[in-house]
Amino acid sequence: MFKRVIWYLINAIFFDSPALLPYSFKRSILRAFGAKIADGVVIKPNVNIKYPWKLSVGENSWIGEGVWIDNLDVVDIGSNACLSQGALILSGNHDYSSTSFDLIVKPIRIEDGAWIGAKAIVTQGVVFGSNSVLAVGSVASSDIDPNGIYRGNPAQKIKDRVLR
pTM: 0.94
The pLDDT assigned to 160 comes to 97
pLDDT band, residue 164 (cuts 50/70/90): confident
- Long-range CB pairs of 142-146 (<8 Å, 24+ gap) are 144/114, 146/111
Number of domains in the chain: 1
24: pLDDT strictly greater than 90: yes
Which residues span the domain enclosing 156?
2-160
**Tens digits of residue pLDDT in 48-87:** 999 999 999 999 999 999 999 999 999 999 999 999 999 9
d(CA 45, CA 65): 5
Identify the CATH number of the domain in which residue 130 sits. Answer: 2.160.10.10
